[in-house]
């Protein structure tokens, strides 16, 4: 699973697969044996999770205004923090997220 996440973090064409793998990851975090595997590959996993979280924020910007507008300041704050991330892919997603949330609700 970690190898697949690493490949998808480089070439992220299939977002549904990434989201499915993240669900599996959350299950692994609840299991003691799963935690051992995660600890061995923590750097890759954290990078993919940061990038995917920003992608989720972008996707949520299309939800009804009345449901997501009140979360705008928190999403923008998270995106601004991610602009300083060491990974370029995370910074790129942060820019996209920030632009989307600023323009969607302006």
- Alpha-carbon distance of 85 to 92, in angstroms, equals 10
Rounded mean pLDDT for each run of 10 residues along the chain, 106 residues in total: 55 65 83 85 84 88 90 95 94 96 83
Position 12 scores a pLDDT of 53
């Amino acid at each position: 699973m970690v190898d697949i996440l690493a490949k998808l973090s480089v070439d992220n064409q299939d977002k549904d697969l990434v989201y499915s793998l993240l669900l599996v990851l959350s299950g692994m975090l609840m299991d003691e044996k799963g935690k051992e595997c995660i600890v061995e590959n923590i750097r890759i996993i954290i990078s993919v999770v940061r990038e995917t979280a920003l992608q989720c924020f972008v996707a949520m910007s299309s939800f009804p205004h009345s449901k997501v507008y009140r979360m705008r300041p928190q999403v923008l704050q998270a995106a601004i923090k991610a602009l300083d991330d060491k990974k370029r892919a995370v910074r790129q997603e942060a820019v996209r997220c920030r632009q989307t949330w600023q323009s969607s609700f302006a």
